Amino acid sequence: MSENIDLQQKWNSIIEFFKKEFTEGDDINIDGILYIIGVQELGNLGVKFKKDDKINLMHIAICTILEPYGYYEYTHRDSDGWPHFEILAELPSLKAGEQSVLIKQAIIKYFEKAQVI
């Protein structure tokens, strides 16, 4: 039970950080956070991206945050500077709530490593 409380407190810290730094107080969802992680990992801050690029940025974020769990491995950057990953293990079949918890835990670890929270 205390693990869930700790997870929720850390998640709330991340949400507050994003509200303060990126949204001028507006709410942000997991997709928005993943987009920002993808932009950070790509390293092209301040660029306006097309819709397809935004999907690719979220994919970069998913691969990046799940890499410590052994699901993906970074392989290289292409000639345009986009990072690429290899799938090491298939993600387990998870219910929607379980998937959300895994993504939140992975985002929390990402920001703990970056010393944001």
Q: pLDDT tens across 83-111, in order?
A: 999 999 998 898 988 999 999 999 999 99
Number of domains in the chain: 1
Mean pLDDT of the chain: 90
Q: Is the pTM of this model over 0.85?
A: yes
Query: pLDDT digits over 38-57, tens only?
Result: 999 999 777 788 989 999 99
Tell me the residue range of the domain where 16 lies: 2-113
Query: Which sign does the torsion angle of CA 53, 33, 23, 81 carry?
Result: negative
Place of tokens 């292409």: 78
Band (pLDDT 50/70/90 cuts) for residue 1 is low
* pLDDT at residue 30 tops 60: yes
The three-class DSSP label of residue 26 is coil
CA-angle at 56, arms to 64 and 77, nearest 5°: 60
